Amino acid sequence: MEDLIRYAPDLALGFLENIKLSIVGAITSLILGTILVAMRVSPTPVLRVAGTFYVNVIRNTPLTLVLAFSALGLSDQLGLVFSAEPRINSFWIVAMGLSAYTAAFVCEALRSGINTVPLGQAEAARAIGLTFMQSLRMIILPQAFRAVVAPLGSVMIAMIKNTTVAVAGGFAAESAANMKESFDQVGASIPIFLGIVVAFMAVTLPVGWFTGRLARRLAVAR
Amino acid sequence: MTENGDATPLVQLENVNKHFGSLHVLKDINLTVSRGEVLVVIGPSGGGKSTLCRTINRLETIDGGRIVFDGNVLPAEGKGLARLRSEVGMVFQSFNLFAHKTIRENVTLGPTKVRGIARDAADKRAMELLERVGIASQADKYPAQLSGGQQQRVAIARALAMDPKMILFDEPTSALDPEMVQEVLDVMIGLARDGMTMMVVTHEMGFARRAAHRVVFMADGQIAEENTPDEFFTNAQTDRARDFLSKILTH
């Protein structure tokens, strides 16, 4: 227990990084995922193929490899640099990799939501003269989002927990990495381990509860 | 016979052909719809009536021939097609009101987003139209809270809000409980009296007799017969039409 107290400030600072990664990841992956799903259902074959290719490649690649590629390939080899400060740079590299990875899952959740919207909704939208993008934005996606709030919650929970592999992308300042460091110094400590588990649950349980409630409130009556 | 003095037909289909895979659903269709005309399309299921109706705003593409609307061949895609669709109202069998929007929003969406009309003006016009179809008191409800007949009347108001040159009705009463059919037909008869150009795919013979200027009988992807309602119902020329009428009118 005293190990936990001794390392608590360190772990808390690390956990704050998990939260920051989660927030950036949630916003960016939702935006990217929406763009991806628009590509996947668009009438333009090139966009459809590109969207499908992206989702199938990224979704089936382990996250640690996506993050390693972001750090080694994109940053070191291709010179993608967000900041001269290594710690800040690696934060954004990981945030980008995590968002790119999670976006594939957001896209697929949304696509299953689009499949719940009856075809007649799209036909009615086209029949009053809305363009493809207008009907997607005003009619199809709003109903699709409402249908998949709960599954999107699961995607977000997975994403929050995935912030603990950030070290694969060269970012070692988050709580799981700090935990490992403390274990190296004082040996494995169950209280430290449980402390981090509880911290994550304190974030992810409300996300699940909130998205579950939201899903019921937003459900579209047909 | 036209009210605004323009003698060219509003819609002209020339040798229109359409296949669904190996099924030839529209076979060399030639048909014109004049301005202000109410055209009723009847015939057995699977005969191509709905498909014909849906080709006019290109919800169904065609494989051959051409369709001219108001002097222009139907645009294939893009902004031109969207503009054409905004000028052709459509009422569906299953209503297809936007499920996540209120009744008022359903009616104002097209005018504000497609036509760029100011929200206030669109709201005012929407309320007038909802008044006309008898749903004004339900304006802030969602579609699922309304009966089928009410939803279909909203769908008609939604089509009218675009000030269309024509409205297509694709079996507008087929999904309704029997007691709600008349309220929808009454609205449609009112529109016909006001001179709206209408193409109506329906099994409602009463509507055809009362409101139609012309009846087109379709079977097996072809127009088998075209006539005035009186002539058609009392003196059908083809065996196919007589057979169809005997099945639906005798009971």
pLDDT at B5: 53
Q: Would the CB atoms of B99 and A138 count as touching at under 8 Å?
A: no
* Average pLDDT rounded to a whole number, residues B204-217: 92
CA pair distance A13, A30, nearest whole angstrom: 26
pLDDT at B2: 44
CATH number for the domain that contains residue A41: 1.10.3720.10
* Average pLDDT rounded to a whole number, residues B174-197: 93
What domain range is A157 assigned to?
20-172
Does B109 touch chain A if contact means CB atoms closer than 8 Å?
yes
Q: Which of A127, A87, A18 is nearest to B166 (CA)?
A: A127
Predicted confidence (pLDDT) per residue in B115-159, tens digit: 999 999 999 999 999 999 999 999 999 999 999 999 999 999 999
Exposed/middle/buried for residue B23 (C-beta within 10 Å: 0-12, 13-18, 19+)? exposed
- Would the pLDDT of B251 be above 90? no
Does B159 touch chain A if contact means CB atoms closer than 8 Å?
yes
* Average pLDDT rounded to a whole number, residues B200-213: 92
Low-confidence ranges of chain A (pLDDT < 50): none
CATH number of the domain at B9-43+55-249, out of 3.40.50.2000, 1.20.1440.230, 3.40.47.10, 3.40.50.300?
3.40.50.300
At residue B194 the predicted structure's pLDDT band, cuts being 50, 70 and 90, is: very high
Q: Which of residues 69-108 of B touch A (CB under 8 A)?
A: 77-79, 82-90, 92, 94-100
pLDDT at B1: 45
The DSSP symbol for B32 reads E
Predicted confidence (pLDDT) per residue in A154-168, tens digit: 999 999 999 999 999
Exposed/middle/buried for residue B177 (C-beta within 10 Å: 0-12, 13-18, 19+)? exposed
- Would the pLDDT of B68 be above 60? yes
CA pair distance B166, B14, nearest whole angstrom: 19
pLDDT at A1: 74
Smallest CA–CA distance, residue A158 to chain B, in Å, is: 29
CA pair distance B153, A57, nearest whole angstrom: 48
When scoring B53, B61, B83, B100 by the number of chain A Cβ atoms within 10 A, the one with the most, hence best to mutate, is: B100
Residues 6+ apart with CB under 8 A from A3: A182, A186, A189, A191, A192
Smallest CA–CA distance, residue B246 to chain A, in Å, is: 33
Q: How many domains is chain A partitioned into structurally?
A: 1
Predicted confidence (pLDDT) per residue in A23-39, tens digit: 999 999 999 999 999 99
Residues in chain B: 251
pTM over 0.95: no
Q: Would the CB atoms of A121 and B96 count as touching at under 8 Å?
A: yes
The DSSP symbol for A84 reads S
Q: Which of residues 118-157 of A touch B (CB under 8 A)?
A: 118, 120-121, 123-131, 134, 138-139, 142-143, 146
pLDDT at B250: 64
Does B113 touch chain A if contact means CB atoms closer than 8 Å?
yes
Smallest CA–CA distance, residue B22 to chain A, in Å, is: 23
CA pair distance A149, A26, nearest whole angstrom: 13
pLDDT at A86: 87
Smallest CA–CA distance, residue B70 to chain A, in Å, is: 16
Average pLDDT, chain B: 92
Q: Which of A115, A128, A142 is nearest to A34 (CA)?
A: A142
Phi/psi at B39 (5° precision)? -110, 125
pLDDT at B42: 94
CA pair distance B91, B172, nearest whole angstrom: 6
Does A222 touch chain B if contact means CB atoms closer than 8 Å?
yes
Q: Cβ contacts (< 8 Å) between B98 and chain A: which residues?
A: 121, 124-125, 139
Q: Which of B88, B100, B158 sits opposite A146 (nearest CB)?
A: B100
